[in-house]
Amino acid sequence: MTSTSHAFHIAATGGAFQLTKRSRDVTQPTAQQVLIRIGAASLNYRDLLTLQDTASNRDGLIPLSDGAGTVVAVGSGVTRWKAGDRVSANFFPTWQGGPFSPVALGTALGGGQTDGMLSEYVLADAASLVAIPEHLSLAEAATLPCAAVTAWHALFERGQLQPGTTVLVQGTGGVALFGLQLATAHGAKVIVTSSSDAKLARARALGAWKTINYKTQPDWDAAALDLTEGKGVDHILELGGPDTYNKSIAAVAPGGRIAQIGVLTGFASQPNILPLQFKNASIDGICVGSVQHFERLNQFLAKHRIHPVIDKTFAFDESPAAYLHLKSAAHFGKVVIDFGTSPNAAR
């Protein structure tokens, strides 16, 4: 094992943040830690926001919450993991299970004050790790910690999704496509919205029940009501933010649930929530999930042999280009960075 690790850090330059590559010594794990050689990482919309948020003190931070790799060393008190195990770290390292704690919010990887996964070697608390499903490559597993866990939490942990019910997902990014794949595997009927007919065709190939082009059908809430014969949608993954909220409220079914997840159109949302009262519908705030959520997600993925949708893969040294690709919004699925430092094939 090398004694030096390369990583990309957030650097403050001329009033803006950018990525800069640096080297540092590899630190050996303490008693309850594990040292991981990262094989792949993936990006989320949050990672773009992290670079744009110049008001926060993130100078020097290693970004990205999502990564997967191979254990190379364990601390003296670690019994669950051993060298050679393939693992991913949970988005919130301290949220093992049970109710969410505000303390956990401050421990989120790669966005607050905790270094993330854009590094060749990473130290992680042993209790924050999950085993990678054997049918997945490291590149595929690297897409799971944020987007897949979020979709799982919204639909299965909080939403208690049932076969035969309807789900609407907005767009074709990571959370949306994981929502499509998970819900379809469970026997739900999924509606996908997008402004691209080409992306909608790909969504149908993945199992989407119905699709709506919100560019040609701007009243997509009415279209969703038509598709459900006036009932409305049982579960909506709200990813848009201010520009989509009122339509989600209009489209949700009586007793339905809207999972508040994304802010693609901004943060200043002032929806008219009164219709929810007369539908006995609810809004659930969803902020990724716990280690237990992650483990149950992985069991489901293994049972149904689900493979994440990867849009494009970049080399480690191309990490800045990966950010630009995500920013272009041309992607369908996840944007991955392959470190080329660990065996990447599924077992």
- Entry pTM: 0.94
Give the Cβ contact number of residue 213 at 10 Å: 17
Nearest residue to 171 (alpha-carbon basis) of 142, 146, 145, 202:
202
The pLDDT-based confidence of 258 (bands split at 50, 70, 90) is very high
Q: Which residue has the higher pLDDT, 57 or 161?
A: 161
* SS3 of the chain: helix, strand, coil, percent, to 5: 30, 30, 40
Domains within the chain, CATH numbers bracketed: 4-143+308-338 (3.90.180.10), 148-285 (3.40.50.720)
CA 180 to chain CA mean position, Å: 13
State how far the Cα of 12 lies from the Cα of 67, in Å rounded to an integer.
Answer: 24
Using an 8 Å Cβ cutoff, are 141 and 28 in contact? Answer: no
Q: Is the pLDDT of residue 306 over 60?
A: yes
Determine the pLDDT at residue 342. Answer: 47
Q: 304: closest CA among 160, 174, 158, 183?
A: 183
Going by pLDDT thresholds of 50, 70 and 90, the confidence category of residue 303 is: very high
How, if at all, do strands 33-42 and 121-125 pair?
Answer: antiparallel
Is the CB of residue 86 less than 8 Å from the CB of residue 141? Answer: yes
Phi, psi of 115 (to 5 degrees): -60, 145
